[in-house]
């Protein structure tokens, strides 16, 4: 892992920095590059705009590691309101949730209860996505996912290609017909758990992508979404799909709001399924710093905004 990436990932966990970051206008201006605003209405407007470009959307309310039972319940209630609002606005937009936001640190039972409230409300025609967090959470997250999937076939889980275990996790889920969003992984992981080099991570990503696409074709995978901005991987995946005779509408690429916008439009225009994850909310600090870690060149955005302030 690059030294800058390691420093940024450590900074993303730093409470002192988190409490101070939002006081600076140049930081808030930089955050605006990756989220349309802090309010749900800002996210909904962005989703409406994407819809006009034939781009699908997924909303996520920023927050993680909630340590208070009532706060976890409030997050769940907020998402219920989001589902209601999306219904009223007639948007096909889905939602994606971090289990630590619903109380996973308090107890898996509390978290599952909060999550079930959302599945009971969500339309079965839409996938309700569960994010994957740092590797220490994978076992608990998958255990909850399996229980939920047994009752709600529209449950989706994010899996991370940087973890050695992911291949086995995919295989263990196939008998349940999962929906899987494949990412590279955004956390700082030890070499005991995760591939370290981009070459290894990308190779594992592509190998997993091929088996997930095959699984979707044979029906053991209900839906697969490739959440990456990596142009080389996207090319490999789309070329593989074409060679296998898989239709473009069966190949879905998801990106983050504000990143690779031209590519999002190009994919949608070419008939591939193109989606964008839109984050909103005031708890943006750790999320934003992880975006900097993914591409340290984004630090120049911070510097430019600092100089122009
Ligand atoms: C829809 C979606 C959902 C996600 N959910 C999760 C999750 O639940 N758990 C999890 O661990 N991770 C999640 N991630 C993050 C993911 O793990 C990666 O950290 C992130 O997508 C960057 O990796 P990459 O695949 O784009 O490839 P990289 O190799 O990091 O980047 C490839 C290229 O993409 C562009 N790029 C990548 N990131 C940025 C950026 N921040 N700013 C500007 N350009 C960039 C650059 O051109 C870069 O060269 C999610 C990502 C997406 C898109």
Q: Looking at residues 203-226, what average pLDDT do you find?
A: 98
State the sign of the Cα–Cα–Cα–Cα dihedral 199, 201, 206, 211: positive
Q: Which residue carries 């319940």 as its tokens?
A: 73
At residue 34, the 3 state secondary structure works out as coil
Cβ of 158 below 6 Å from ligand 1: yes
Instruction: Tell me, yes or no, if 181 is annotated catalytic.
Output: yes
Q: How confident is the model at residue 309 (pLDDT cuts 50, 70, 90)?
A: low
Instruction: Tell me, yes or no, if 18 is annotated catalytic.
Output: no
DSSP state of 253: E
**Residue 101 clears pLDDT 80, i.e. is over it:** yes
C-alpha of residue 261 to centroid of ligand 1, in Å: 13
Check 105, 169, 181, 202 and give the catalytic one: 181
Q: Looking at residues 64-70, what average pLDDT do you find?
A: 88
Burial of 81 (0-12, 13-18, 19+ CB in 10 A): exposed
Q: What is the CA radius of gyration of the chain?
A: 19
Burial of 235 (0-12, 13-18, 19+ CB in 10 A): exposed
Q: Whose CA is nearest to atom 3 of ligand 1?
A: 227
- DSSP-derived secondary structure for 217-228: HHTSSSEEEEE-
Please give the structure tokens belonging to residue 258: 């504000």
Per-residue pLDDT tens digits for 156-212? 999 999 999 999 999 999 999 999 999 999 998 999 999 999 999 999 999 999 999
Q: Rounded to whole angstroms, how far apart are CA atoms 74 and 138?
A: 24
C-alpha of residue 275 to centroid of ligand 1, in Å: 13
Cβ of 277 below 6 Å from ligand 1: yes
**b/e per residue 41-66 (b: at least 16 CB within 10 A):** eebbebbeebbeeebbbbbbbbbbeb
Q: Dihedrals φ, ψ of 115, to 5°? A: -70, -40
Provide the β-strand partners of residue 280. Answer: 61
- What number does the ligand 1 atom closest to the CA of 292 have? 41
Check 18, 69, 116, 131 and give the catalytic one: 131
C-alpha of residue 36 to centroid of ligand 1, in Å: 18
Q: Rounded to whole angstroms, how far apart are CA atoms 246 and 239?
A: 10
The CA-CA-CA angle for residues 35, 290, 140, to 5°, reads 105
By most ligand atoms within 8 Å of CB, the mutation choice from 199, 295, 297, 302 for ligand 1 is 295
Cβ of 201 below 6 Å from ligand 1: no
Cβ of 98 below 6 Å from ligand 1: no
Cβ of 305 below 6 Å from ligand 1: no
pLDDT at 261: 94
pLDDT at 197: 94
**Residue 307 clears pLDDT 80, i.e. is over it:** no
Q: How confident is the model at residue 141 (pLDDT cuts 50, 70, 90)?
A: very high
* Residue 173 vs residues 136, 157, 159, 164: alpha-carbon distances, Å: 19, 10, 11, 16
* Whole-prediction pTM: 0.94
At residue 256, the 3 state secondary structure works out as strand
C-alpha of residue 259 to centroid of ligand 1, in Å: 9
Cβ of 293 below 6 Å from ligand 1: no
Q: Measure CA of the first residue to CA of the last residue in the chain; give whole Å.
A: 32
Which range, of 27-41, 80-94, 125-139, 252-266, averages the lowest pLDDT?
27-41
Please give the structure tokens belonging to residue 66: 């909630």
Cβ of 229 below 6 Å from ligand 1: yes
C-alpha of residue 292 to centroid of ligand 1, in Å: 10
Q: Rounded to whole angstroms, how far apart are CA atoms 280 and 286?
A: 13
**Residue 116 clears pLDDT 70, i.e. is over it:** yes
Answer yes or no: are the C-beta atoms of 280 and 36 closer than 8 Å. yes
**Residue 1 clears pLDDT 70, i.e. is over it:** no
Q: Rounded to whole angstroms, how far apart are CA atoms 159 and 152?
A: 18
- What number does the ligand 1 atom closest to the CA of 98 have? 8
C-alpha of residue 228 to centroid of ligand 1, in Å: 5
Q: In terms of residues, how long is the chain?
A: 309
Cβ of 194 below 6 Å from ligand 1: no
Q: Work out the percent of the chain whose per-residue pLDDT is above 90.
A: 78
Cβ of 259 below 6 Å from ligand 1: yes
């Amino acid at each position: 892992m690059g030294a800058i990436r390691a420093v940024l990932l450590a900074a993303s966990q730093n409470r002192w920095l988190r409490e101070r970051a939002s006081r600076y206008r140049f930081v808030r201006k930089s955050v605006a590059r990756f989220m349309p605003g802090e309010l749900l209405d800002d996210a909904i407007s962005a989703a409406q705009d994407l819809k006009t470009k034939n781009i699908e959307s997924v909303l996520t309310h920023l927050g993680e590691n909630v340590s208070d039972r009532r706060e976890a319940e409030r997050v769940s209630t907020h998402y219920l309101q989001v589902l209601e609002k999306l219904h009223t606005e007639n948007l096909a937009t889905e939602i994606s949730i971090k289990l630590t936001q619903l109380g996973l640190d308090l107890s898996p039972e509390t978290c599952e209860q909060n999550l079930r409230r959302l599945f009971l409300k969500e339309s079965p025609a839409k996938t309700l996505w569960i994010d994957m967090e740092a590797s220490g959470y994978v076992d608990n997250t998958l255990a909850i996912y399996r229980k939920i999937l047994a009752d709600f076939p529209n449950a989706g889980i994010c899996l991370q290609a940087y973890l050695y275990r992911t291949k086995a996790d995919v295989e263990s889920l196939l008998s349940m017909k999962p929906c899987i969003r494949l990412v590279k992984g955004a956390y700082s992981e030890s070499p005991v758990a995760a591939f370290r080099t981009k070459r290894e991570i990308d190779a594992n990503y592509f190998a997993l992508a091929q088996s997930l696409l095959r699984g979707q074709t044979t029906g053991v995978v209900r839906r697969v979404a490739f959440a990456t901005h990596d142009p080389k991987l996207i090319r490999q995946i789309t070329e593989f799909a074409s060679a296998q005779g898989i239709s473009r509408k069966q190949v879905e690429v998801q990106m983050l709001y504000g990143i690779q916008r031209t590519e999002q439009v190009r994919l949608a225009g070419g008939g591939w399924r193109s989606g964008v994850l839109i984050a909103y909310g005031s708890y943006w600090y750790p999320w934003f710093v992880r975006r900097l870690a993914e591409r340290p060149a984004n630090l120049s955005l911070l510097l430019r905004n600092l100089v122009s302030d």
